[in-house]
Chains A and B, each alone.
Chain A
Amino acid sequence: MLGVARRRLGSGCVLSQLAQALRPAAAAPARTYSAAAKEITVREALNTALDEEMSADPSVFLMGEEVGEYQGAYKISKGLLDKYGPDRVLDTPITEAGFTGIGVGAAYHGLRPIVEFMTFNFSMQAIDHIINSAAKSNYMSAGQISVPIVFRGPNGAAAGVGAQHSQCYAAWYAHVPGLKVLAPYSAEDARGLLKAAIRDPDPVVFLENELLYGESFPVSAEVLDSSFCLPIGKAKIERQGKDVTITAFSKMVGYALQAADILAKEGISAEVINLRSIRPLDRAAINASVRKTNRLVTVEEGFPQHGIGAEICMSVVEDSFEYLDAPVERIAGADVPMPYAANLERMAVPQVDDIVRAAKRACYRAAVPMAATA
């Protein structure tokens, strides 16, 4: 704000119409957490969503490694084997390419599989089926073969597990036409988005986060209702602000909210957007927010190059360039495979301080030089 001209284009009718169109997205979250007394964990949210959707639709089944007798490697499927039996909760051998392909084939032929990857890292062994068999079939068959399948499991950086087990696949899957890619943050997100994913007629990549499974969030009675469902493609404004927009998804939403608290103490009002849906991306909500705050910080755990931040930045450059008062800031994971040593690992993933610094830079409030991307 220090001497940087705001290049607003006045209130031309085209723009005001656009602003009208953008507004509902921003206004929607006002309802959330209403009169919320109850708290549930993300794990419970996912478990109940699976349970309710399996109960509602007998064509829904769950398959993956350790989903049955072991009750899920992360206990997301706890109790489901007892309730639905081994025909609908299938323990598979360790054969991602095989069982993912089987899931896709079942979806071609009238079922609604939920394929659990023990972690999304392992989905690399099955990526051919996710992209070539699932994402492209509806198009190649001219709409004759739809693939209503959910690929779900923990994604992103975990703690102390080294390079092969610690990586974000949001950008990988978001690149692919024909896929929908969702990334819940809170218990509300987890419940509403997983239910939406299971009911969706297309293949959905559902990126959970191991470190969030045990976190509790307040939820309203509406969220707990078995009919609750969130729209795919809508972001949520987690926190209203006027000075800078911070976009984030999954675990990074929590970091962005913490950063917003710190910024508030320093007089910077940050608006935090929880993307919820990576593809389709809620460009309207992002642009509406940037048009209000004129500054943007994108946050993601994944690698910077060709990442989610890059796409968001492009969207804002295309639609709201003249509203920007500062260069868009991107906070991402360091451009290195994840190191094991705890001190290096911490440097390789975004921290709250990194977000705070970037927001200050965007607001021209920091003398801090550009540090590492991490």
Chain B
Amino acid sequence: MAAASFTAAKFLVPVAARSGGERAPPLPPVGASSSSFARTLRRGGGAHHHPRLRTALAVSSDLVAGNKAAQAAATHPAVTREEALEVYEDMVLGRVFEDMCAQMYYRGKMFGFVHLYNGQEAVSTGFIKLLNQADCVVSTYRDHVHALSKGVPPRNVMAELFGKATGCCRGQGGSMHMFSAPHNLLGGFAFIGEGIPVATGAAFAAKYRHEVLKESGPDGLDVTLAFFGDGTCNNGQFFECLNMAQLWKLPIVFVVENNLWAIGMSHLRATSDPEIWKKGPSFGMPGVHVDGMDVLKVREVAKEAIERARRGEGPTLVECETYRFRGHSLADPDELRKPDEKTHYAARDPITALKKYIIEENLATESELKSIEKKIDDVVEEAVEFADASPHPPRSQLLENVFADPKGFGIGPDGKYRCEDPKFTQGTAQV
């Protein structure tokens, strides 16, 4: 395989390589050989060298790209009006929804740990909006917006956060555990690294269905996106799965949302080589770094990686450099991130940047964007009203869903399955 012959030295960052103003190459057509992608990735040759740790700011794009101020002016890949507006709407939805979550949390409507996604919207939108319904998403505890991008209705996500019976998991999962089978959202995982093997397993299933069961459609394999953060990239499960995913050429994209901080642990203090994308080539898969505050760049990289997976050419590791605009969770005092770092990234707000681009490129008018914002405000408002008005889960739910087959509760003293006891369905049975 072509990918196996890549060496780390040849792998460079397409975004950085393209930052000189050259137009992005056309996407490889579906069914093209992997070498077109490989060529894309090789662009720029070995021209860059990567300065080691810089201490002033934990800015890994500076590390990777050699602090090219000119990068901000780089050309964007072409995007149609419809695409731009879809992307804009999804990002605004993510932002407004999370801001509302903060309000509702402080009002006591939701509880426990609530981790908000503000600032990282370009990653969720840039990747997930390219997926089909049958493609899978595996997320972390910071999962609300991944759920929204994958199409889970905002009212059901909000109701889940309120702990209501109308939530996407009937109030049983909560903020960190969003699941939706119809949307192939395979969960928010609350432990670091946990989601990666599960995502790899979903990708394994897609390949198995395709090759053993002969089930998949003409478009190729169903693709799984595994989202996780920079902190996770120091966890063994990450490395174990990179190996197996490449070994078995699984249709998965490992999407690192490198927001530079694992709670209060700076990425640079936690990771011996902070350039996460480089770990892809170590396992024989492409590794790509992309500006995670630029949704169109994310989208371009995502397209290539997803299509590569769909064609059966195996996994890609994508490091999206992003930033969370709030603390790790709503309980985090967020005292360790320096104000100048926060300011640096606040100025790079991905939604503001997209808005500017859309207007500058005459893809839509300011008032059109305003009406999208208004529409999203209404959607989120409605989600809150729906969640608030929804009923709490009934007691009967307490014993439901522990097993797919409630006979798993065993046999009672009367010789019958415990789940046949009328008290079982009331949730009051002794089990």
User: From B428, which residue of chain A is reached at the shortest CB distance?
Assistant: A372
Expressed in whole angstroms, the Cα–Cα distance for A69 and B266 within the complex equals 10
Inter-subunit contact B231/A340 (CB<8 Å): no
Q: Which residues of A contact B172 (CB under 8 A)?
A: 163, 339-341, 344
Choose one: B176, B234, B429; the contact of A95 (CB below 8 Å).
B234
Interface hits, B262-287 → A, CB 8 Å: 262-265, 269-271
Inter-subunit contact B177/A336 (CB<8 Å): no
For residue B235, CB closer than 8 A to chain A, the reply is yes
**B-contact bits for A116-141, CB 8 A (1 contact / 0 none):** 00000110110000000000000000
Expressed in whole angstroms, the Cα–Cα distance for A328 and B270 within the complex equals 51
Choose one: B110, B113, B163, B263; the contact of A65 (CB below 8 Å).
B263
Expressed in whole angstroms, the Cα–Cα distance for A69 and B232 within the complex equals 19
Interface hits, B83-125 → A, CB 8 Å: 110-113
A-contacting 9-mer, from B297-305, B341-349, B393-401:
B393-401
Inter-subunit contact A341/B392 (CB<8 Å): yes
Given contacts A93-B265, A336-B399, A373-B431, contact A344 B171 (CB under 8 A): yes
Expressed in whole angstroms, the Cα–Cα distance for A339 and B397 within the complex equals 10
Given contacts A66-B265, A159-B112, A161-B174, contact A98 B398 (CB under 8 A): no
Q: Which residues of A contact B367 (CB under 8 A)?
A: none
Given contacts A341-B393, A344-B397, A372-B427, contact A161 B176 (CB under 8 A): yes
User: From B170, which residue of chain A is reached at the shortest CB distance?
Assistant: A341
Expressed in whole angstroms, the Cα–Cα distance for A342 and B108 within the complex equals 11
For residue A91, CB closer than 8 A to chain B, the reply is yes
Q: Which residues of B contact A370 (CB under 8 A)?
A: 430
Inter-subunit contact B174/A160 (CB<8 Å): yes
**A-contact bits for B290-334, CB 8 A (1 contact / 0 none):** 000000000000000000000000000000000000000000000
A-contacting 9-mer, from B186-194, B212-220, B378-386:
B186-194
Interface hits, B195-243 → A, CB 8 Å: 231-232, 234-236
B interface residues, tally (CB under 8 Å):
48
For residue B28, CB closer than 8 A to chain A, the reply is no
Given contacts A69-B336, A336-B399, contact A160 B112 (CB under 8 A): yes
Inter-subunit contact A340/B271 (CB<8 Å): no
For residue A39, CB closer than 8 A to chain B, the reply is no
Inter-subunit contact A165/B398 (CB<8 Å): no
Inter-subunit contact A164/B190 (CB<8 Å): yes
Q: Which residues of B contact A125 (CB under 8 A)?
A: 191-193, 235
**B-contact bits for A158-184, CB 8 A (1 contact / 0 none):** 111111110000000000000000000
Q: Which residues of A contact B176 (CB under 8 A)?
A: 161-162, 164-165
Expressed in whole angstroms, the Cα–Cα distance for A125 and B189 within the complex equals 13
Interface hits, B407-431 → A, CB 8 Å: 409, 427-431
- Number of A-B residue pairs having CB atoms within 8 Å of each other in the complex: 142
For residue A73, CB closer than 8 A to chain B, the reply is yes
**B-contact bits for A82-117, CB 8 A (1 contact / 0 none):** 000000000101110110000000000000000000
Inter-subunit contact B191/A335 (CB<8 Å): no
Inter-subunit contact A94/B232 (CB<8 Å): yes
For residue B402, CB closer than 8 A to chain A, the reply is yes
Q: Which residues of A contact B144 (CB under 8 A)?
A: none
Inter-subunit contact A94/B231 (CB<8 Å): yes
Q: Is the interface of B mostly helix, strand, loop or mixed?
A: loop
For residue B175, CB closer than 8 A to chain A, the reply is yes
Inter-subunit contact B336/A70 (CB<8 Å): yes
Task: Please give the distance in Å from B422's CB to the nearest CB on chain A.
Answer: 13
Choose one: B174, B392, B402, B427; the contact of A162 (CB below 8 Å).
B174
Inter-subunit contact A73/B263 (CB<8 Å): yes
For residue B164, CB closer than 8 A to chain A, the reply is yes
Task: Please give the distance in Å from A247's CB to the nearest CB on chain B.
Answer: 20
For residue A223, CB closer than 8 A to chain B, the reply is no
Q: Which residues of A contact B428 (CB under 8 A)?
A: 371-372
Expressed in whole angstroms, the Cα–Cα distance for A373 and B399 within the complex equals 12
Task: Please give the distance in Å from A157's CB to the nearest CB on chain B.
Answer: 11
Expressed in whole angstroms, the Cα–Cα distance for A159 and B331 within the complex equals 13
User: From A165, which residue of chain B is reached at the shortest CB distance?
Assistant: B190
User: From A370, which residue of chain B is reached at the shortest CB distance?
Assistant: B430
Inter-subunit contact A339/B177 (CB<8 Å): no
Inter-subunit contact B112/A340 (CB<8 Å): yes
Expressed in whole angstroms, the Cα–Cα distance for A371 and B431 within the complex equals 10
Q: Which residues of B contact A201 (CB under 8 A)?
A: none
Q: Which residues of B contact A69 (CB under 8 A)?
A: 264-265, 336
Inter-subunit contact A347/B398 (CB<8 Å): yes
Inter-subunit contact B398/A161 (CB<8 Å): no
Given contacts A65-B265, A337-B402, contact A343 B393 (CB under 8 A): yes
Task: Please give the distance in Å from B424's CB to the nearest CB on chain A.
Answer: 10
For residue B44, CB closer than 8 A to chain A, the reply is no
Inter-subunit contact B402/A336 (CB<8 Å): yes
Given contacts A93-B265, A341-B393, A343-B163, contact A161 B191 (CB under 8 A): no
Inter-subunit contact A122/B191 (CB<8 Å): yes
Given contacts A65-B265, A70-B265, A334-B398, contact A372 B171 (CB under 8 A): no
Expressed in whole angstroms, the Cα–Cα distance for A335 and B409 within the complex equals 9
Inter-subunit contact B271/A93 (CB<8 Å): yes
For residue B173, CB closer than 8 A to chain A, the reply is yes
Inter-subunit contact A348/B402 (CB<8 Å): no
Q: Which residues of A contact B169 (CB under 8 A)?
A: 340
**30 A-B pairs whose Cβ atoms sit less than 8 Å apart in the complex:** A94-B231, A94-B232, A94-B234, A121-B190, A125-B235, A158-B112, A159-B112, A160-B111, A160-B113, A162-B112, A162-B173, A165-B176, A335-B409, A335-B431, A336-B399, A339-B393, A339-B397, A341-B163, A341-B164, A341-B165, A341-B172, A341-B392, A341-B393, A342-B111, A342-B163, A344-B171, A344-B393, A344-B398, A347-B395, A372-B427
Partner-B contacts on A (CB < 8 A): 65-66, 69-70, 73, 91, 93-95, 97-98, 121-122, 124-125, 158-165, 334-337, 339-344, 347-348, 370-374
Other A-B pairs beyond A93-B234, A164-B191, A339-B393, 13, CB < 8 Å = A65-B263, A69-B264, A69-B336, A121-B190, A163-B172, A334-B399, A339-B171, A339-B398, A340-B169, A342-B163, A344-B163, A344-B397, A373-B430
